[in-house]
Chain A
Amino acid sequence: MRHILKPIVQAYLRLLTRIVVWRHQPDVIAITGITNKTTTKNAIIERLRQRGLNVRWNPKNFNTEIGLPLAVLYLEPADQSAGAWLRTLAQGTLIAFVGRRFPKVLVLEFGVSDPGDMRTLLGIIRPRVVVFTNVQPSYFNPTTTINELASELTVLAEAVPKNGLIVVNGDDPYLAGIKSRTKAKMVTYGIGEGADVRAVDVTRDTTGERWEVDGQARRVDRFGEHQVYAALAAEALDRYYSPT
């Protein structure tokens, strides 16, 4: 029974998502990559909120065929009962057709683990801005090669419109081919030479990471190089992003 209902629920949620996006026309920012999506997303949300923008985002694990629409529609996942799902879908229908409030910007994690995942997500919602974190071997899905994962991300780059923006980790060799696959403006961030937004003098003290961008001191009270990359991605986006 569950196997029959699941595709129906997915299709209906996809339809509701398209309707609500068509009605409200939010600016959609996608964060994709193998790891560091959530930290990057959080850093970006903080920047956008500092600008006074009304932002909605998907929780960490809401990046699948069902989770992504639920996040866009601002719905909680139902438990396994058919009744609970019917209530959720009814609530989603109301939001999609008659709901008035909707945020100006959606910041969404796009997670991929298998070939074809990205096209499925793009069938639900298409971003105008994409931030690429990395294509590290995560062993998260040992049946998919790193090249296949990199190809999946390229699909997203190709979907970004000409008036869009791509923010990419310039230190990741697997993301080097993105530039040739998009007509959108592209900016890079990283620690290595050549990045548009580049961190230098990265150090750690007892309270977190420190670095400089263009001679200006930056800090984050957390630990790990990925925190630096997340902050750099947010700074790059903040520097070049203009909402539609």
Chain B
Amino acid sequence: MPETSGTLYAALALSYAWLLGYEFSLWWRRRRKG
């Protein structure tokens, strides 16, 4: 099995950045609507 922690961190960063981005979009939509 090759060293695959790079894959783990890539999946971790992309997945949780996506969730944080969605959280930000919710906050932004609410802010825009006042």
Real binding pair: no
Which chain A residues have a beta carbon within 8 Å of chain B's beta carbons?
none
Which chain B residues have a beta carbon within 8 Å of chain A's beta carbons?
none
